[in-house]
A and B are shown apart, each in its own frame.
Chain A
Amino acid sequence: MGLPNASDDLSSEMEVDAFRRLFPLRFFERHLAESIRPDGRPLGKARDTSVFLGAVASANGSALAKIGSTTMLTAIKMEVMTPSLESPDEGCIAIDFHMPPICSPIVRPGRPAEAAPVISKQLFDTISSSGLVNLKELSLVNGKAAWMAYLDVYCLDADGALFDAALLSAVSALSHLQIPAVAINDDGKIVLMSEEDGQKQAQEQVNKEKRKLTLKSIPFSLTCILHKNYILADPTAEEESIMETLVTIVLDSSGQLISLYKPGGSVLAHTSALQDCVALTRQRVKELKSILDEQNSVMEIEQD
Chain B
Amino acid sequence: MERPDGRTPNQLRPLSSLRSVLHRAHGSATWSQGDTKVIAAVYGPKGGTKKNENPQKASIEVIWKPKTGQIGKQEKEYEMILKRTLESICIRTIHPNTTTSVIVQVVHDDGALLPCAINAACAAFVDAGIPLKHLAVAICCSVSESGYIILDPTKHEEEKMKAFAYLVYPNAVVSVLPEKSLQVGDEPMANGLITSVTQGSMSVDDYLHCLERGRATTAKLSEFLRKNIEPKSTSELSKAG
Q: A residues touching B (Cβ–Cβ < 8 Å)?
A: 106, 114-115, 117-118, 120-122, 124-125, 129-131, 229, 245, 247, 251-252, 255-272, 274-275, 278
Contacts and interface: CB of A to CB of B under 8 A. Distances in A.
Interface stretch (B78-86, B119-127, B222-230): B78-86
Nearest to A219: B201
B86, B88, B187, B202 pick with most chain A CB within 10 angstroms = B88
A252 B202 CA distance: 10
B80 A129 contact: no
21 contacts: A106-B52, A117-B77, A118-B76, A118-B77, A121-B76, A125-B199, A129-B163, A260-B196, A262-B193, A262-B196, A263-B81, A264-B84, A264-B85, A264-B168, A265-B194, A266-B88, A268-B170, A268-B193, A269-B196, A270-B193, A271-B211
B146 interface: no
B74 A121 contact: yes
B199 A265 contact: no
B73 A117 contact: yes
A114 B80 contact: yes
A132 to B, nearest CB: 10
Given A130-B201, A261-B197, A262-B196, 11 more contacts: A114-B80, A117-B73, A118-B73, A257-B206, A258-B201, A261-B198, A264-B81, A264-B83, A264-B194, A268-B170, A268-B194
A122 B198 CA distance: 10
B76 A117 contact: yes
Contacts, number: 105
B177 interface: no
Given A106-B52, A265-B88, A271 B208 contact: yes
A265 B80 CA distance: 12
B-side interface size class: 35 or more
| Chain A interface, >50% SS class | mixed
Contacts of B6: none
A257 B204 contact: yes
A192 to B, nearest CB: 31
B200 interface: yes
Contacts of B76: 114, 117-118, 121
Given A117-B76, A270-B187, A260 B81 contact: no
Contacts of A258: 198, 201
A118 B64 CA distance: 14
Interface string B13-54: 000000000000000000000000000000000000000100
A270 B185 contact: yes
Given A121-B73, A264-B81, A264-B87, A257 B192 contact: no
Nearest to A262: B196
Contacts of B195: 262-264
Interface string B175-195: 000000000110101011111
Contacts of A261: 196-198
A278 B196 CA distance: 14
Contacts of B165: 260
Given A118-B77, A130-B201, A263 B85 contact: yes
A12 B59 CA distance: 34
B201 A256 contact: yes
